[in-house]
Amino acid sequence: MTSSPSSTESRTVAIDNPPHNVEKQQQKSYEVNLEPHEHPQSSSLTLKWLSVFVISSSALCVTCASSAASFTEDGVSEEFHVSKEVTVLAISLFVAGLGLGPLLAGPLSEVYGRNIIYRISFLLLFAFSFGVAFAPNIVVYLIFRFITGFCGSTFLSVAGGSISDLFDNDTVATPMAVYTISPFIGPNVNWRWTYFTLIIWTFVQIVGLFLIVPETYIPVLRKRKAIRLRKSTGDDQYFAPIEKEERNLGHAILVSCYKPFQLVFYDRMALFLNTWTSLILGILYLAFQAFPVIFETNHGFDVQQTGLSFLGIGIGMLGGLATQPYWNRVLARESEKNGGEIPPEARLYMGEYGAILVPLGMSLLHGLYNLPSVPWIVPIIASVVLGAGIYFVFTSVFSYLVTAYRPIAASAMASNSAMRSTFAAVFPLFAGAMYDGVGTVAATAILAGVMTLTVPLPFVYIRIGPRLRAKSRFAAA
């Protein structure tokens, strides 16, 4: 670096006018910008995809931790002498932490950068996981489950920003889809994971976060460059805009807490889309209670085999991910038709398929094929349909929220995350009573009926979305 910056310069004038001195003193200051080769999108393709892999696998690690408790319920219940209903709180409290954490992580990442938030959150997750694994009683166990969920929640609010920093608008769809799918595969491989293996996995992710994932938040990168220039040149006039801004962290956290709820209360689009995804995630967590009934009771599976049965949902999601090149072409055509701009509603075309596949998969899985006379592979195939539908719905809704509410995209995603986590935390609490009271078939028929009512949602929004956005106080016109 030289003392004469090759980056953008802005010249400011400071007036020194003491009472008995009319001499004006001019002072130059230089606003530091990034050179093209310093921009995160200029990183090598290998580094970009390694970063996507580490970020996505970290999200997978967190969601595996959320669902691991469902396969430790019997041991916890026996050792701590509590009912199964109490052990279910281990899932609900973890997911509650996942919902609350982004309200703090989002503002912190905008002040200190994304990478430092990743590293600290996973270090805390690693440390507090020992509290879960070595808990002496049920109270300590549940408290540390909530804390670990809170610490691991960073990847629900910050990770999407890292990926959008690394890839431009034309290439971001596929890596974003890879990240989107990773949290939902986690609950489907939980039979293998115990808390000790989760601790080991968390440590591996920490190594990857420190060694591979770069800082991508441009305001912080400009600040770091300005600091380097001041040190190397001895000239204190180099600055980054973030250093000039008056940032009240407490106020930012307060805004991040009420803005998502304000969006839900005053915007029908956000309310209905968030409710849609929340119902689906809640139903996914209900599957933890339903699958043992279907496969252990009706098909004689043991615990390990029942855990493997969840892979059907994961395979369906991976199948949905494989269709991403097709959806990229659909968006490219929409861009051509609209003068280079992709309408937010175009993101919901994928959601139309998901809206149909989710209730269809649920009906096939529980309503028709959960009898002992039906081969076990049939409900597995049905769960593949459900998994593909879940992928299509979540990918389309996430993309829509980010583009339709671009000025407050972080708040839009936080509102979705908070509502989803609330549903996912509450649903397992009544799942056992629901399935025992009305039976597996009837209980899931009710849920499938509710999801059937949501089928028109993406079809309607595609047609009236522009009018609704024009009237919205939050959405981009």
Residue 72: pLDDT over 80: no
- Please state, rounded to an integer, the average pLDDT across all residues of the chain: 79
Residue 28: pLDDT over 70: no
pLDDT reported for residue 189 = 45
Q: What does the radius of gyration of the chain's CA atoms come to, in whole angstroms?
A: 25
Range with top average pLDDT, 210-219, 281-290, 316-325: 316-325
Residue 191: pLDDT over 50: no
384 against 193, higher pLDDT: 384
Confidence of residue 366 (pLDDT cuts 50, 70, 90): low
The CATH H-level (homologous superfamily) assignment of domain 259-477 is MFS general substrate transporter like domains (1.20.1250.20)
Question: 10 Å Cβ neighbour count for 41?
Answer: 15
Quick: pLDDT tens for 254-289. Answer: 777 787 888 888 898 899 999 999 999 888 777 666
Q: Are 174 and 328 in contact (CB under 8 A)?
A: yes
Coil, helix or strand at residue 270: helix
Question: 10 Å Cβ neighbour count for 439?
Answer: 13
Q: What value does the mean pLDDT take over residues 296-303?
A: 73
Render 33-97 in DSSP notation, one character per residue: ---GGGSGGGS-HHHHHHHHHHHHHHHHHHHHHHHHGGGSHHHHHHHHT--HHHHTHHHHHHHHH
Render 419-437 in DSSP notation, one character per residue: HHHHHHHHHHHHHHHHHHH
Q: What value does the mean pLDDT take over residues 174-187?
A: 63
Percent of the chain at pLDDT exceeding 70: 82
Residue 218: pLDDT over 70: yes
- Gap between the Cα atoms of 451 and 439, Å rounded: 19
pLDDT reported for residue 456 = 95
Quick: pLDDT tens for 320-345. Answer: 989 999 999 999 899 889 888 888 89
Please, which residues have CB within 8 angstroms of residue 268's CB and are 6 or more apart in sequence? 468
Q: Which amino acid type is present at position 267?
A: D
Span of 60-69, 107-116, 188-197 with lowest mean pLDDT: 188-197
**Closest by alpha carbon to 273, among 380, 174, 416, 395?**
416
Residue 389: pLDDT over 50: yes
Residues of the chain with CATH 1.20.1250.20: 45-231, 259-477
pTM for the full model? 0.74
Residue 63: pLDDT over 90: no
Q: What value does the mean pLDDT take over residues 104-127?
A: 84
User: SS3 breakdown of the chain: % helix, strand, coil, rounded to 5?
Assistant: 75, 0, 20
Confidence of residue 298 (pLDDT cuts 50, 70, 90): confident
Render 156-202 in DSSP notation, one character per residue: HHTHHHHHHHHS-TTT-HHHHHHHHHHHHHGGGSGGG--HHHHHHHH
pLDDT reported for residue 128 = 93
pLDDT reported for residue 11 = 39
Q: What value does the mean pLDDT take over residues 314-325?
A: 90
Residue 355: pLDDT over 90: yes
Q: Are 233 and 3 in contact (CB under 8 A)?
A: yes
pLDDT reported for residue 22 = 34
pLDDT reported for residue 6 = 39
**Closest by alpha carbon to 177, among 317, 296, 285, 46?**
317
CATH class belonging to 45-231: mainly alpha
Confidence of residue 192 (pLDDT cuts 50, 70, 90): very low
